[in-house]
Amino acid sequence: MNKLFVGGLADNIQEMDLAIFVSLHGKIDTIKVVRDRATGKCKGYAFIEVASLDDAKNIISMLNGETFKGNVITVKLSEEVAPKKPAPKPRPTDAFKSKRPRLQR
């Protein structure tokens, strides 16, 4: 599965409009338009999954730099980012103790 990044989208874009536009150049599997949770408007980018590397290359070569709904879009292969490992919890040691002197009672 090849994931494509599509950037420069208008804020009122619909998944179906993007699907029709892209599917002219290759077979797509899924489309995810990234939206703002509060407003529901597109954040300006989307991810498209394509089964074939040939289709992915064709989509990139045909659509990168083209105008869609008044905006020039960027299409490129998405770099997969490995999930971050949680930081280890610090263990209590003398190094974390306060440097202030204790009050004598």
Domains assigned to the chain: 2-78 (3.30.70.330)
Confidence at residue 56, expressed as pLDDT on a 0 to 100 scale: 92
Mean pLDDT computed over every residue of the chain: 86
The residue ranking higher by pLDDT, 76 or 82, is 76
Structure-block tokens of residue 87: 């930081």
Per-residue model confidence as pLDDT tens digits over 53-78:
999 999 999 999 999 999 999 999 98
Q: Is 64 in a helix, a strand, or coil?
A: coil
Is it the case that residue 33 has pLDDT exceeding 90? yes
Contact 31, 48 (CB under 8 A): yes
Per-residue model confidence as pLDDT tens digits over 36-58:
999 999 999 999 999 899 999 99
